Chain A
Amino acid sequence: MELNGDPLSRLPHGIPFRFVDRILELIPGERIVSLKNVTMNDPCMQGHFPGNPIMPGVLLLEAMAQTSGLLLPKGSSALLAQVKDARFRRPVVPGDQVRIEAVRLTGLGTLHRFAAKAFVESEPVAEAEIVLAVSNAVGKDGV
């Protein structure tokens, strides 16, 4: 954990689009473990689905992307550039505590690639490779 200041405060996302509740481990630029508590109060549960609440897979991806983004240098503003090989292994429902582990695989210019896995207890629920583009330094397309 960072000693000077809460690293979560670097997340640019606001409620209701913040899908990281706590950071458990953080090695900047390398590896991060985060927590997201899934509750009936999450706004998406009203519609996804009425009477049968399930955390949308795209929001699990968002949680993995937000977690990965916290590995970028302070002050970076990043956008999703690619999602690769995403898998959803079982539904995530209110009451579940999702633990997300992300590692930075490589980077080139403004792009950074991460491998992220989501677990509930020790069971894998989702995984994906995620590419983020640091948008406060976006260059021309090409290498």
Chain B
Amino acid sequence: MNEIVQRVRVLLSTRLKLGKAAEELGDDTPLFGPEGLGLDSIDALELVLGLEKEFGVVIEDRPTAVKVLASIKTIAEFIQTQGKG
């Protein structure tokens, strides 16, 4: 699980223009909204594509995306429940 979390962190920091290094990203920090990293819908699409390429997980609809893309931790959990990573 920790290895997946680390790979998700690296994916976020390299694929999105966050201006933050992978190790600066908290596992529970909300990805969206002003209290979190402040990502927008275009970032979400970038993440969906990145997760598909890196882990082979597919997020097809908005309700799943809202749940899965809440934080680094929820993404890692989703990858694990899909038997990927």
Q: Is A58 an interface residue (CB 8 A)?
A: no
In the complex, which residue of chain A has the Cβ closest to the Cβ of B33?
Answer: A142
Q: How many residues of B contact A (CB 8 A)?
A: 16
* In the complex with contacts A142-B33, A143-B32, A143-B69, A109-B62 CB distance below 8 A: yes
Known: A113-B49, A143-B32. A82 touches B65 (CB 8 A): no
Residues in A whose Cβ lies below 8 Å from that of B48: 106, 108
The reply to whether A131 and B42 contact each other, CB–CB distance below 8 Å, is yes
**8 Å CB contact of B62 from A82, A105, A131, A143:** A143
Q: By the criterion CB–CB under 8 Å, are B69 and A82 in contact?
A: no
| Across-interface contacts of A110 in B (CB, < 8 A) | 41
Q: How many A-B residue pairs have CB under 8 A?
A: 43
How extensive is the interface on chain A, given as a class? 10 to 19
A105 to B53, CA, bound (A): 11
Give the distance in Å from the alpha carbon of A111 to the alpha carbon of B48 in the complex: 12
Most B CB contacts (10 A, CB to CB) among A81, A107, A111, A142 go to A142
* Known A113-B45, A142-B32, A142-B33: A108·B40 in contact at CB below 8 Å: no
Bound: A28/B60 CA distance, A: 18
Q: Mark B34-72, 1 if CB is under 8 A from A, else 0.
A: 000000111011001100100000010110011001000
Q: Which of A82, A106, A113, A143 has most B Cβ within 10 Å?
A: A143
Residues of B within 8 A of A (CB): 32-33, 40-42, 44-45, 48-49, 52, 59, 61-62, 65-66, 69
Given A142-B33, A143-B65: A106 and B40 interface contact (C-beta under 8 Å)? no
- Docked Cα-Cα span, A99 to B49, in Å, equals 26
Q: Report yes or no: A111 in contact with B41, Cβ–Cβ below 8 A.
A: yes
8 shortest interchain CB distances as A-B pairs: A109-B62, A143-B44, A143-B65, A111-B45, A108-B45, A143-B66, A142-B32, A82-B42
